[in-house]
Structure 1
Amino acid sequence: MLTNSDLDELTAFRRELHKRPELSGEEVETARAIVEALKPLNPSKVLTGLGGHGVAAVFDSGVEGPTVLFRAELDALPIQEISDNPWKSEIDGKGHLCGHDGHMTILLALGRQIAREPVAKGRVILMFQPAEEDGSGAKAVVADPAYKEIQADWAFAIHIEPGRPFGYVSTKTGLINCASQGLEIKLAGKTAHAADPEDGVSPARAVASLIPALDGLGQGGKLDDDFRLVTITHVQIGEPSFGVAPGEAVIYATLRTAHDEAMEDIDKDARALAQAQAEKYGLDVSFDVFDAFAASINDPEATDVAVNAMTAIDVESGDFGLPMRASEDFGVFGWGAKAAMLCLGPGHDYAALHNPDYDFPDDLIPVGGAIFERIARDLLGRAEK
C-alpha cells in the first residue's frame, strides 16, 4: 500500500524526470536517476547498461518460482514542449510527451511495495527500457547477454492512452499494437542542366509511379490478420532549383501490418516495386530501414492474469479502442514470455500523446502501481512475515 508520503515523493520524482528528457539512445542521466531512486528499495541486484542505457532491478524471493517482468521506458521525444507547468522541460526541442516519465514512476511505485512486502516465490523484475520511441530498445535489451540472467516467464507493461475514462484499462487477447517500419528508398541517376534534361537521368518519373504503387500495397481498412497500410511520409526529388534537372530522389514509406510475418512480405513487395521502377528508368536504388517495431500480441494467459487482477481491485477494463494501428516497442518481450500490454486511460478530453502540451497525470501513479502489484501478488504471492 502506497502512503501519502510515497505519492508525494513519487510525484516529485516524476516531475524531475519531466524537466530533463533525453532522446532514444541518450538516456544516460535518466538511467542514473533511476538507479539512485532504486537504492533505498534494496533490490537483490541492479543491472545497468542493458541494450544501451537500460536498467533492471531484480527483487528475488530466494524461492523457486516464475520471473515476472514489468516494463517502463526511459526515453523522451524530439518535440518542443509548450506548457506553463513549473516542471516543464528544461531542454529545448525535447519533451516527455508520451508518458514515459509516468511509466517509470509507476514501476518505482511497484518497487516500493515489493520492497516492503516481498513476494513469496520467484522474482520481480523492474525493467527500465531504453530507446522505445525508435523501436530499437527492446530488441537490444533482449539480445544483451546480461538479459539471460533475468529472462522473464511473464511480462507486463502499462501505457497511458488518451481517449479513455480515467483509470479505465483497455486490453484484450491478441493484437494490441501493429508491427511497423520506416523504409527509406533512395534513387540515384544523373543531374543535368534544366535546359538539357536528356543529358541526365532523372528519378522524377520513377517517383511519380512509385507513390501510387506503394500506396496500393496497403490501404488500411479493418484491423484483422490481413491488415496492411503504407503511408508515404516524405518525398524529395533533387534540389530546390529551377536550373537543375534532378539526379537523386528519396522516398520515406511507413509500412504497417498486423503481424511480424506480414511485415516481411510487404517489405519485399515495396522493394520489388522500387527495383522495377529503377530498372525501367536506368536508376540505381538502395534501401534502409528505420524505426522497426514488432507487433505487440497479448498472450491469453497473461491477459487473463491482468484482467483478474484489475477486477480484484475494482479497476474497470475492457477492449475499447483495440487493436491500435500505432506501434509500441513491447512486443519483443513477448517472444520469450507470456506478455500483456495494458492501455491506461487519463480521462476524456485529455491531450493526445506526442502533442507539445501533453503531461502525464500524476493521479495515475497509484492506479498503475496497484495494478502491477496485484499482478505480482497473484503470480508470486506475499512472503510471510
Structure 2
Amino acid sequence: MNPITHIQDYAEELTALRRDIHAHPEIGFEETRTAALVAGLLEGYGYAVHRGIGGTGLVGVLEGRSGEGRRIGLRAELDALPIEEATNLPYRSTVPGKMHACGHDGHTTMLLGAARYLAETRAFDGTAVVIFQPAEEGLGGARAMLRDGLFERFPCDEIYGLHNAPNGPHGRLKVRPGPMMAAADFFDIRITGRGAHAAQPDRGLDPVLVATALAQAMQSIVSRNADPLKAAVVSITQIHAGAAYNVIPESAHLAGTVRTFDAELRSLIARRIRELAEGYAAAYGVEIAVDVRDVFSVLENAGAQAAAAAEIATELFGAEKVDADCKPKMGSEDFADMLHVVPGAYAWLGATPGPGLHNAGYDFDDSLIPLGAAYLARLVERRTARTP
C-alpha cells in the first residue's frame, strides 16, 4: 500500500487541523490547548496516550499486528514563536504577539497524519512511539522530556524527526549522516557604567560606547581566532540601552548566539567573549557580566538511520527528490539531545519557496502534509521489521 494515496483521502481534514493549530499558537511550555487537541485525536485513533512529559509534552504508543518487533520513535514539536504575524490569511494567529512562524503546526499535523495511517492499517510489527515535544524554540523542551524519563518509560530502538524547508525545492528530502545542524549557545552581556547628562559625558561612564565597541570586537573572534577551516558564527541580535535623547544610561545589554560544529571551537569562542569583556571593562572602568549558555547540541544523524531515511524517501518520492548527502545547516534543533540517547535521523522536506522560517510572513505549505505523513509512517513500517 502506498501511504501517500491512503493519507490523501483525509488530507483536507489534516489541512483544516493544521490551520486550526496555526490560528491558536502557544509558545514553549504553554501548549495546553495544542497538547489536549493532539491527545484527544491520538486516543480516538487507538493510541495509549501519556500526558505531561517534560511539561506539556505527550507520547502516544501503538502496538503493531503482533506486538513483537522493534520500537520506532517519531517526533514533532508543539510550540510557536513570540512573533506578531504579518499575513492576512483567514486562519492567521488569533493570539497577539504569537505565531507559528517555523512550521511546528505542520509538523504536528504530519505526525498526526502518520499516526492515523498506522492505526488504520496496522501494517507493521513492533511498536510506534509518537512523541509530541514542547518548547523546541530555545527553551529546552527535549531536555525536559529526557529528564522526565522519556526513553526509560518509552524505549525506542530508533527515532526520526522531520522539518519543512521553505526555500525548496518542493518535495525534495534532504538528509545526511553525521553532523546535520550546529550547536548553539545564547549569550547575555550586561554592561554597568555610570549615568550622566548627555551634555556632560565626562561625568559618566558610557555603557553604550562600551557596548558598541565590544560588539565590533566580538566579530574578530571568528575572523582572527577561529580555525578558518571550521564553521562558526557569532551573531549579536539585541542591543538595549537608554530611554531618552539627553541621558547617558546607567547600563546596556547585548545578546545573541554562537553557532559551531566543533566542541573545541565552541569553548574557544565562549572564552574569547569573556576575555574581551574583561578587557573592555578594565579599559573603560565599567562592570561587564557575561552569561554564555549551552542551548542546543550538535545534531548528528546515525549512518544507518540516515541511509534508511534516504532509502524510504526514494521509494516514496523518487530518486530525483532525495539528497542523501546534503550540506549541514548552521541552524540548531534540540532533537539533537534525543539523538544523543537513541540513534536516528533528522531530515528536511522542501516546500514551495516562500518567506523563510521565523519570518512574520511565513506560512506552512499544506501540500507537504501527505508527503511528510507518508514518510514518517513508512519509517515505522520498514524499520520495525529490521534487525540492528
Q: 1:192 to 1:360 in 2, by over 3 A?
A: closer
1:137 aligned partner = 141
Distance in structure 2 (CA, Å) of the matches to 1:141 and 1:187? 35
**Contact preservation (8 Å) 1:73, 1:128:** yes
Higher mean C-alpha deviation, range 25-34 or range 139-148: 139-148
1:85 aligned partner = 89
Report SS of the residue matched to 1:10: helix
The alpha carbon displacement at 1:321 in A equals 6.1
| Sequence identity percentage | 33
Does residue 13 of the first structure (1) align with residue 17 of the second (2)? yes
State which of 319, 323, 347 in structure 2 corresponds to 1:318. 323
The alpha carbon displacement at 1:160 in A equals 0.5
1:213 aligned partner = 217
The alpha carbon displacement at 1:201 in A equals 3.1
Does residue 353 of the first structure (1) align with residue 336 of the second (2)? no
Distance in structure 1 (CA, Å) of the matches to 2:264 and 2:380? 32
State which of 297, 300, 304 in structure 2 corresponds to 1:297. 300
Distance in structure 1 (CA, Å) of the matches to 2:88 and 2:206? 50
Distance in structure 1 (CA, Å) of the matches to 2:229 and 2:135? 28
2:277 aligned partner = 274
1:54 aligned partner = 57
Report SS of the residue matched to 2:331: coil
**Contact preservation (8 Å) 1:63, 1:120:** no
1:66 aligned partner = 70
Report SS of the residue matched to 2:10: helix
The alpha carbon displacement at 1:368 in A equals 0.8
Alignment of 1:164-203 (within 5 A): 164-203=168-207
The alpha carbon displacement at 1:84 in A equals 3.9
Give structure 1 regions of 4+ aligned residues with deviation exceeding 6 angstroms. Answer: 222-225
Q: Quick one: which amino acid aligns to residue 347 of structure 2?
A: L
Compute the TM-score of the two structures, normalised by the length of structure 1: 0.89
Q: 1:51 to 1:260 in 2, by over 3 A?
A: farther
1:343 aligned partner = 348
Q: 1:219 to 1:35 in 2, by over 3 A?
A: farther
**Which 5+ residue runs of structure 2 have no aligned equivalent?**
none
**Contact preservation (8 Å) 1:187, 1:283:** yes
1:331 aligned partner = 336
Higher mean C-alpha deviation, range 225-234 or range 153-162: 225-234
Distance in structure 2 (CA, Å) of the matches to 1:362 and 1:304? 27
Q: 1:211 to 1:358 in 2, by over 3 A?
A: closer
Higher mean C-alpha deviation, range 88-97 or range 254-263: 254-263
Higher mean C-alpha deviation, range 92-101 or range 138-147: 138-147
Report SS of the residue matched to 1:253: strand
**Contact preservation (8 Å) 2:277, 2:290:** no
Q: Quick one: which amino acid aligns to residue 343 of structure 2?
A: K
2:372 aligned partner = 368
Q: 1:365 to 1:253 in 2, by over 3 A?
A: closer
Report SS of the residue matched to 1:252: strand
**Contact preservation (8 Å) 2:270, 2:292:** no
Higher mean C-alpha deviation, range 244-253 or range 314-323: 314-323
**Which 5+ residue runs of structure 1 have no aligned equivalent?**
none
State which of 40, 43, 65 in structure 2 corresponds to 1:36. 40
The alpha carbon displacement at 1:98 in A equals 1.5
Q: 1:116 to 1:230 in 2, by over 3 A?
A: same
**Contact preservation (8 Å) 2:7, 2:370:** no
Distance in structure 1 (CA, Å) of the matches to 2:227 and 2:284? 36
Does residue 160 of the first structure (1) align with residue 164 of the second (2)? yes
